[in-house]
Amino acid sequence: MPFWSSDRDPIAAANVLCDVGRALSEMRGEGELMKEHTTFLKKLRNTLEAVKEVLKEGPISQGLQDNITAIWKHLLETEVGIVSSMGLNEGEVKTENMKSVTSKFYLKTTYYQRFSNKITRLQNEVVIPLCGLHRSITTMFPQNQSRSWQTFKRWVTESKCHIDKRLVRQTKEWLRPISWVEERYQAYVDNISSSDGEWFFLMQEYIDWYNQLSKKSSPILCISGVPGVPRTQIASRVVQKLREDRRTVTYLFYAERTTASIDARQLIGTLCWNLLNQFPEDVELLPEVCKEDGEPNETEIQTFLQRMCERRDAIILLDGLDECSIKTKEREKLCQFLASSNGVCDIIMFSQELEDIKRNLSGYDSLLRITNCEAEFWNEIERIPTRCPAGLESWERKEQGGIDAGIKSCQVTKEHDIHFPGSKEDQYQVYAMLRHRICDSRLPAHIARQIIDEAEYWVESAFQRDEPLIVNGEKVKRNIP
C-alpha cells in the first residue's frame, strides 16, 4: 500500500508537508508566501496532535467528529497530490535532512508553485470545518478545564486566526474596494463636533426609522435636500452617533468631482470591506457562500455582505450616489440589492437627487420613506438672532418675522430677472432666490443667516430708493458663496 494512501496518519501527513516545504525553502529561500504556508502547516499539525490527545479521553460529539474528519480528508488528499507529483518515496520523505533529496526537484520553480497552490487550496478547504471546530469548542465546552481540551482550543483558535488573516488579505483583492472612502469619511469626522446636525436627529422621519432598527420592518430612509451644512457632514455625524449607540455601521462616502465610472459590484464590495475591517473574523462566511475556489462572483459578494449584516445587525449608510458616474443598468442592480437586503439590515441614504433611486426601487416591496431637510434648515436659521447691518432700525428688525413668512410663500422654481422698482412680491421673489442659492451652498446655518441678512438689507435699500436695479439670477448664482 502506498505510504500516501487514505489510511495514513494525518499527523504524519502534516509532517511530510512541513518537510517538503522546508526543503523547497532551502532551495529558493524562504519567501513570505512559503513562510506563511509552513507556519500554517505547523499550526495545523499541532491542532491534529491535540485532537489525538482529546480522543484518548473518550467519545466526542458527532459534530466535532465530522469537522475533524473533513480536515483529515483534505490534508491527506493534499499530501497525495504534492508527494506523488514530485516522485518522492517513503524513504526520502522520512529522511531527516530533506536537502539530500533535492536533486529530485529538477523542476524547482514548478514544484515551488505547485506546492504553494495546493497549500493555498488546502487552507480554503479546511476553513469551514476549522470554523466549525472553533465554534464548538468555544460554546459547547466553555467550562472544561481539561489540559487536553485547553490545548485543543488553543491550536484550533491559532489555526483559524492564521487562515482568517490570509483570507482577509485575499478577499480585499477580490472585493476591489474604493480606496478613498475611508479617507473621505475621516476628513469629515475630524472636523465635526457633537452638536453639529442635532436638528437632523430631531426630525420625525429619522426618529421613526431609528425606533424601528433591528425589527427589520423599517423602510429605506432616503434623505435629500440637506442645505446649510455639507450633506456628507450630516451623514458622517449619523455614523458617529449610531456608533455611540453601539450600532454597527458599514458605509460608502463617495467623493465629489470623481469622473471615474463605477459599477454595483465595486460599491457593494466597498461596503463588504468596510464591515470586514471591523470584524475580520467574519471572513469565515465567505467560503460558505462560494460555490468554487477562487474569486467570488457578484452574487456571492452580495450574499456575503448580507450574511455579515445579518450576523452583526448592521446598518448600511450610503452618501453621494448622485455623484457617482454609474450606468443605468448598474444603478438598477444596486437598487435591487438594497431592496433585497432591507429584510436583513436597515438602510439610510443621503442623495441630492432621488428620482432615479425612487424609480429603480418602485418595482420592489421596499418602500422608501423620503424626507427633505430644507424646511428644517430654514427653521434652524430663523431661530438664530437676526444680525442686521448697522443702518437697520429697530422697527425694521421687528419686521423680520413678517419678511420670513412672506419669503416662505414664494415658490421659486427657476431663477429669473427681477426689475426694480417693483412690487413687494417682487422683493420677496428676490429674497427667495437669494435664500435658495445660499441654501444650495451648504453653509453652516449661522453663516447663512448673516449672508442672508446682509443681502436682504442690500435689496431692501435698493427697493426703498426706487433705484432701477436689475437682479440677475445667473449673477446671483456666481456671486453668492
Residue 390 has pLDDT above 50, yes or no: no
Residue 337 has pLDDT above 80, yes or no: yes
- The answer to which of 153-157, 201-205, 319-323, 332-336 has the lowest mean pLDDT is 319-323
The CA–CA distances, whole Å, from 409 to 384, 432, 438 equal 20, 9, 18
Look up residue 154 and give its three cell numbers. Answer: 488553543
Residue 345 has pLDDT above 50, yes or no: yes
Helices (H) and strands (E) in the chain, counts: 21, 7
Q: Residue range 216-231: average pLDDT? A: 68
Q: Omega before 421 cis (within 30°)?
A: yes
Contacts of 60 (CB under 8 A, 6+ apart): 54
Top-confidence residue, 412 or 197: 197
Please check whether residue 34 is in contact with residue 157, taking contact to mean a CB–CB distance below 8 angstroms: no
**pLDDT score, position 113:** 78
Please check whether residue 228 is in contact with residue 445, taking contact to mean a CB–CB distance below 8 angstroms: yes
Q: With pLDDT > 70 as the criterion, what percentage of the chain qualifies? A: 59
Please check whether residue 221 is in contact with residue 349, taking contact to mean a CB–CB distance below 8 angstroms: yes
Q: Residue range 231-259: average pLDDT? A: 81
Residue 106 has pLDDT above 50, yes or no: no
Q: What is the per-residue DSSP string for 375-430?
A: HHHHHHHHHSPP---TT--HHHHHTHHHHHHHHHT---SS---EESS--HHHHHHH
Please check whether residue 337 is in contact with residue 302, taking contact to mean a CB–CB distance below 8 angstroms: yes
**pLDDT score, position 342:** 79
Beta bridge partners of 250: 316
**pLDDT score, position 224:** 75
**pLDDT score, position 275:** 92
Torsion of CA 222, 227, 232, 235, to 10 degrees: -50
Residue 97 has pLDDT above 50, yes or no: no
Q: Residue range 325-337: average pLDDT? A: 81
Top-confidence residue, 138 or 15: 15
Contacts of 125 (CB under 8 A, 6+ apart): 74
The CA–CA distances, whole Å, from 39 to 77, 86, 153, 205, 324 equal 19, 22, 18, 53, 43
Residue 77 has pLDDT above 70, yes or no: yes
pLDDT digits (tens, 9 = 90+) for 279-308: 988 888 887 887 766 788 889 999 999 999
**pLDDT score, position 479:** 38
**Helix (H), strand (E), coil (C) string for 262-322:** CCHHHHHHHHHHHHHHHCHHHHHHHHHHCCCCCCCCHHHHHHHHHHHHHHHCCEEEEECHH
* Alpha carbon distance 222, 371 (integer Å): 6
- Residue 254 DSSP one-character state: P
Beta bridge partners of 346: 315
Look up residue 85 and give its three cell numbers. Answer: 507529483
Please check whether residue 149 is in contact with residue 47, taking contact to mean a CB–CB distance below 8 angstroms: no
- The answer to which of 373-377, 397-401, 432-436, 454-458 has the lowest mean pLDDT is 397-401
Query: 214: exposed, middle or buried (C-beta count within 10 Å: 0-12, 13-18, 19+)?
Result: exposed
**pLDDT score, position 314:** 92
- The answer to which of 53-57, 113-117, 371-375 has the lowest mean pLDDT is 371-375
**pLDDT score, position 477:** 38
Q: Residue range 97-102: average pLDDT? A: 48
* Alpha carbon distance 375, 342 (integer Å): 28
Top-confidence residue, 324 or 207: 207
Residue 56 has pLDDT above 50, yes or no: yes
Average pLDDT over the chain, rounded to an integer:
72
- The answer to which of 86-90, 105-109, 311-315 has the lowest mean pLDDT is 105-109
Q: What domains are defined for the chain?
A: 10-164 (no CATH), 181-374 (3.40.50.300), 384-479 (no CATH)
Query: 64: exposed, middle or buried (C-beta count within 10 Å: 0-12, 13-18, 19+)?
Result: buried
Q: Residue range 421-440: average pLDDT? A: 66
Residue 37 has pLDDT above 70, yes or no: yes
Residue 118 has pLDDT above 80, yes or no: yes
pLDDT digits (tens, 9 = 90+) for 154-205: 888 888 888 888 778 878 888 888 877 777 777 766 666 666 667 788 888 8
Q: Is 341 helix (H, G, I), strand (E, B) or coil?
A: helix
Top-confidence residue, 236 or 258: 236
pLDDT digits (tens, 9 = 90+) for 207-217: 888 888 877 66
The CA–CA distances, whole Å, from 242 to 198, 248, 273 equal 13, 8, 19
